[in-house]
Structure 1
Amino acid sequence: MKKIAAAVVLATLSAGTLAAPETYVIEGSHTLPRFEYNHLGFSTQVSRFDKTSGKIVIDFAAKTGSADVVIDATSVNTGSAKFDEHIQNEDFLDTAKYPTITFKADRFKFQGDRPAKVEGQLTIKGVTKPATLTVTTFHCGLHPMVKKQACGANAFTSIKRSDFNAGKYAPMVSDQVTLTIPVEAIRE
């Protein structure tokens, strides 16, 4: 009887340990947020940011999570150094005053065992607005290179540039912008 009681206590403690939140550190070389918009009705332009950092906390048992993502706005990469400078001026990102874009999420909505929506606050150019990222893919497992647990996802949202004081040339250059965040993160 004592062995059975000990096994039940051990199983309960193990289940409690598994339910603990896990912290993942964003891996910057594989987390390159993109933004896309329509340019004068001719084409969809796609650019990215080359430097991203932050942490993601997930409690799979409780189906909760949080995220703190920092995008270095000065790392904007349009494919043209001249256009990178243009995007960084005060009409758009104003990186001299606002060098970072942040997304701070405090609500994860799960569908089954995986996050489906991430709700939080997006700050661009000093303006903070609610934003919901829709998660299109999500996967966790042992990272073959670093031999640690890792999670990755692809998520997107749509915003209006004008909501963040960056609406110059709208509507000819679309006010609507799609932000896509492919993220990989390694468990601490």
Structure 2
Amino acid sequence: MKPLFALSATVVLMSGMATSALAEPVTYEIDPTHTFPRFSYSHFGLSTQTSQFNQTHGTVTLDKEGGTGQVDIVIDMTSVETGYATFNEHIQGEDFFDTASHPEARFQSSQINFQDGRPVSIDGHLTMKGITQPVTLEVSHFAAMVHPMLERPAIGAHAHTVVKRSDFNADKFVPYVGDEITISISMEAVVPE
């Protein structure tokens, strides 16, 4: 009986250690090859224009057991892709992104809100053109798994928010070109090697 008791105690102890290890925060690095923030807006009421940024980096830290985390995403504003080379340059001017003075935009979370163990919204601050405004990203999709190719823990998410470009001193042509901008981001992040 004593060996059986000792074995049981060892299993319980190891199980407790594993649970403790799982409860610790995990930091993931943004995969820039599968993360492309997009923005869309009304163009004279004729169409909804959608563009994206091709270069993004940052980290996501999650403690799903504790219901806490942090998001820090940096967008290279000079990597904007509108589908038209001339407009790529135009939109980087002072009236819009002013990338000569502010080449990056940054989102930093203040709180991640969980429901049933998964993030459903992220409160934080978006800084663009040197102006910081509070925003809330609504998370419509979240997944966590071992990446099938990299064989490391990975997460994926899709989130969106709506901001006014006039809040960031980028309001040229308002109201003809929409003031409200929908920002969406589909991202993947992986635990680094």
What's the TM-score, normalizing by structure 2?
0.94
Counterpart selection for 2:99 from 95, 99, 124: 95
Quick check: which has more Rg, 1 or 2? 2
Alignment partner, residue 153 of structure 1: 157
Q: Residues 21-170 of structure 1 correspond to what in structure 2 (within 5 A)?
A: 21-170=25-174
C-alpha offsets along residues 35-70 of structure 1, whole Å, 9 cap, x if unaligned?
A: 000001100000000000000000111111101100
Long gaps (5+) in structure 2? none
Aligned residues: 188
Long gaps (5+) in structure 1? none
- Over aligned residues, Cα RMSD in angstroms? 1.1
SS of alignment partner, residue 96 of structure 1: coil
Give the share of equivalent positions with the same residue, in percent: 46
Counterpart Cα distance in 2 of 1:140 and 1:14: 18
C-alpha offsets along residues 66-88 of structure 1, whole Å, 9 cap, x if unaligned?
A: 01100000000001111011110
Counterpart Cα distance in 1 of 2:150 and 2:53: 24
What's the TM-score, normalizing by structure 1?
0.96
Alignment partner, residue 177 of structure 1: 181
Q: Which 4+ stretches in 1 moved above 4 angstroms?
A: none
